[in-house]
Each structure stands twice: as structure tokens, then as C-alpha cells.
């Protein structure tokens, strides 16, 4: 993909207890990653990470998180404290069949079985404070303000299989 092209990819994981969906839009060297999650016993959230897209050849690249916002209201959210940039890595793969609905989902969901063409994950060195490293009064911002972004980032630790959006 060239830097002036656009691409939309999606992936999801689900069971009968809930689901998490990712929607990635790559446009002109920028990226927006929507993370939508609703699981039984947890508060639902919809976060959009605003990223700079850095392609590294034709087969891989990185998304450097530059900001975050609530996907439903577009209210800006602060990023959690970090010693460096928050980086998501990806690799492109030849189209792979997804025999089950989604990324590791139960077949009963039966929603997304398109081949995947990208694998995305949070870079192993992208360390951030989840609001538990210090006492709450030692943070510049209350941890609950950057908490939704922390929840979204935690969902990106495991690899995600993404395929062309329908």
C-alpha cells in the first residue's frame, strides 16, 4: 500500500458473553483505530486511537499513537503516562482463511469469516502506566481520566487478525 492510498480493515473476537471489534482506517500516512468492546460484567467502551502510520516496506509497519478520543462523542482522552511512544506493530500476510467467526471466536457467532490479511499488536516495548504504579494523588491527571485508553491498549496486547472491511 502506498502512503497516499487508503485501506479499511476490521477484526473481531466474540463469544456468547460479549465481543470486541477493531476497525482500522489507513489514509495518507495517518491511521485511526476504533476499538469497540462490550463484555458481560464489564462496562462497554468505544475508543478511537489517532495514529501516525509509518510503513516499513510492503509487508509491515507501525502505528504511533498520538491521541485518543471517545468514538461516540469524539471527546478527547488523555494518553496514559509512558516513558516513550505507544507503538502498534503490524505485518501483512497473504490472505489467510479464518475457519471460525472472527479472531479466535466461537463458531456460533458466525459473523466474520473473511480471510485476514494483517496481524496487529501492541509493541512489546510500548510500556505505559495503567494508573496503579503510584498513588492516585501522585499523577498529573486522575487515573480514571486515562483509564479508558488503558483498557483499549490492554486489548491490543494479543495479536489481532484483520481483514478487508465489508
This prediction has a pTM of 0.85
**Is residue 113 a part of any domain in this protein?**
yes
The whole-angstrom separation of Cα 43 and Cα 41 is: 7
Confidence of residue 114 (pLDDT cuts 50, 70, 90): low
User: pLDDT value at position 111?
Assistant: 46
Burial call 75-101: b when 16+ CB within 10 Å, e when fewer: eebebbbeeeebbbbbeeeeeeebeeb
- Mean pLDDT score, 94-104: 63
**Is residue 70 a part of any domain in this protein?**
yes
Domain containing 68 equals 6-164
User: pLDDT value at position 2?
Assistant: 43
Q: Which three cell numbers stand for residue 123?
A: 509493541
Instruction: Render pLDDT for 77-98 as a digit per residue (tens, 0 to 9).
Output: 999 999 899 999 999 988 887 6
Look up cell 489517532; give the residue. Answer: 50
DSSP annotation of 97? -
**Is residue 1 a part of any domain in this protein?**
no
The whole-angstrom separation of Cα 31 and Cα 4 is: 12
**Is residue 97 a part of any domain in this protein?**
yes
Nearest to 142 by CA among 80, 82, 99: 80
**Is residue 159 a part of any domain in this protein?**
yes
109 Cα distance to chain centroid: 21
pLDDT greater than 50 at residue 107: no
User: pLDDT value at position 105?
Assistant: 44
**67 contacts: CB under 8 Å, gap ≥ 6:** 49, 50, 76, 79
The Cβ of residue 49 has, within 10 Å, a number of other Cβ atoms equal to 25
The whole-angstrom separation of Cα 26 and Cα 32 is: 7
**Is residue 19 a part of any domain in this protein?**
yes
| Count of structural domains within the chain | 1
Poorest-pLDDT segment among 70-79, 109-118, 127-136, 137-146: 109-118
**Is residue 111 a part of any domain in this protein?**
yes
Q: Please, what is the average pLDDT of the chain? A: 85
> How many residues comprise the chain?
166
User: pLDDT value at position 58?
Assistant: 83
The whole-angstrom separation of Cα 50 and Cα 75 is: 12
Instruction: Render pLDDT for 17-66 as a digit per residue (tens, 0 to 9).
Output: 888 889 999 998 899 999 999 989 888 889 999 999 998 888 899 999 99
**Is residue 139 a part of any domain in this protein?**
yes
Nearest to 9 by CA among 24, 20, 22, 30: 24
Amino acid at each position: 500500500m502506498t502512503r497516499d492510498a487508503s485501506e479499511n480493515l476490521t477484526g473481531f473476537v466474540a463469544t456468547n458473553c460479549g465481543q470486541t471489534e477493531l476497525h482500522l482506517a489507513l489514509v495518507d500516512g495517518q491511521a485511526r483505530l476504533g476499538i469497540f468492546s462490550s463484555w458481560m460484567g464489564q462496562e462497554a467502551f468505544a475508543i478511537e486511537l489517532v495514529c501516525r502510520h509509518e510503513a516499513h516496506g510492503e509487508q509491515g509497519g507501525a502505528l504511533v499513537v498520538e491521541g485518543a478520543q471517545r468514538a461516540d462523542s469524539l471527546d478527547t482522552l488523555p494518553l496514559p503516562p509512558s516513558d516513550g511512544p505507544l507503538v502498534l506493530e503490524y505485518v501483512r500476510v497473504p490472505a489467510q482463511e479464518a475457519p471460525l467467526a472472527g479472531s479466535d471466536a466461537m463458531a456460533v457467532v458466525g459473523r466474520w469469516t473473511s480471510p485476514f490479511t494483517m496481524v496487529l499488536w501492541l509493541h512489546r516495548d510500548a510500556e505505559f502506566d495503567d494508573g496503579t504504579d503510584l498513588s492516585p494523588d501522585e499523577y498529573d491527571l486522575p487515573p480514571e481520566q486515562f483509564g479508558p485508553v488503558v483498557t483499549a491498549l490492554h486489548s491490543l496486547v494479543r495479536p489481532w487478525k484483520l481483514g478487508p472491511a465489508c
